[in-house]
Amino acid sequence: MNEDFYNLAFERSVLASIIFEPELFKRSSLSADDFYLSAHQNIYKAMKDLNDQDQPIDEEFIRVWLSERKMFDERVLVEVITSNPIANLHEYIKAMKEFAQRRALWKLGIELQKQQFLKPSDGVDMIEAALSSIKDMRVGTGIRTIPSGDVVAREPEFVLKHWLPLPRGVVSMISAEGGSGKGWTALQIGNRYIDENPYDKVCLWLSEDDIGINTNRHKLVSSSVMNSLYSNYKDSVHFPIVEKNGSIIGERPKPLIVNGKFDYHAFYRMRQSLRGFRMIVLDPLRSFYGGDENSNTEANLFMGPLQDWAAEDDIVLVLLHHSNKDKDGSFKSKSRGASAFRDAARIMYEIDKIYKSPHIGEIDLDNAHMRRFKMTKDNLGAMSVLGRYEITHHITPKDSARATAVHVEYQYKKDDMTFEMPEIRE
């Protein structure tokens, strides 16, 4: 049979996508007969049986299932695992089903040549039944609709309602200038989420700083900022790691936009690795992005899968991003880069330090540990939950924040050739 009747690359990519994202299996509308290669049919049968038994659809379980039935072909499974997962699974499945239809029609033609019908009607009945079955193999391309009255209405679900409302099931964004406390904020967000949901887990991927520094800050946030015990959070708040030469170091994210294209293989591996976390914070956006920060096309490619991830896994997904240096005091977003980043986020906050006079950048030393949060985008009613568009919170340890602010202000004056130490009020 020639390649007009199958595409093995399509089959491998579909199977790889399901292994990397098992939830796709339930939405795939596939059957084993849609695959041409018998080894691919066996892998799909393994997936179906594992799904029916509520077992994981992953490489090891598939390997065991096939081995127990003497069906295991290591070369074929390796080819599947190393294939790139795909975003638009529907189109690949549609193509596979069209190939399956061609094969079925070809087989029907061969079968008709073998038959000797006593009556023409017998042949017609056979053809009609076969064609009906073949017709059912198609994947519909229309859009399914549902009456509004059949939909269960619901309100958006927020966490941290009285501190910094963040919605579940969508992408949120928090932006700030460099050195404004995004990482410190993320640590407190994680802790406060655990206070509300003690049986959940949080992953904070704070990729800009060493994991040991992040751990030290986590302890300080717990004790010096929240006046709580670090032991309340140390087992529930996680940092991604790698082990190198026996040492634990922070995991550096792999950019998801490579040469203008979205790397679905890297994305699905990341998503699978973070399965089970109910809140995920990615800091900063640029480390995970990798594309042209001002390209709306690439930004859309990046944000789309993140939106699907948040919705499908019903997680609180927060991106930390950098802002432009602008202290005009308005509620207009200063988030850097393409507007597609802001368009995709449903809730956005901007973090500002507390200044005596924003126009000249003079930090209020008495409030150097505080940060002002402005809600610059609200598509889901976070303002009605919080009761305001702006709120001030204690973010960094008070003593160290004040010392840092003094150093920064002194450095600023030194660069301005004034060499004046700021007045320190007790």
Q: Identify which of 292, 350, 347 has the alpha carbon closest to the alpha carbon of residue 322.
A: 350
239: nearest Cα among 217, 267, 269, 261: 217
Q: Is residue 220 a contact partner of residue 398, using CB atoms and an 8 Å limit? A: no
Q: What is the mean pLDDT of the chain?
A: 85
E strand segments, 95-170: 158-159, 166-167
Phi, psi of 329 (to 5 degrees): 80, 5
Q: Give me the domains of the chain, ranges plus CATH numbers.
A: 3-135 (1.10.860.10), 158-415 (3.40.50.300)
**Higher model confidence: residue 247 or residue 212?**
212
Q: Coil, strand, or helix at residue 349?
A: strand
pLDDT of residue 172: 97
- The band of 223, judged by pLDDT with boundaries at 50, 70 and 90, is very high
Q: What is the pLDDT of residues 131-168, one digit of tens each?
A: 666 666 565 545 567 888 888 998 999 999 999 999 99
Per-residue pLDDT of 354-384, as tens digits, reads 988 766 667 888 899 999 999 999 999 999 9
199 pLDDT more than 70: yes
* Residue 425: predicted pLDDT: 37
The mean pLDDT of 248-261, rounded to a whole number, is: 87
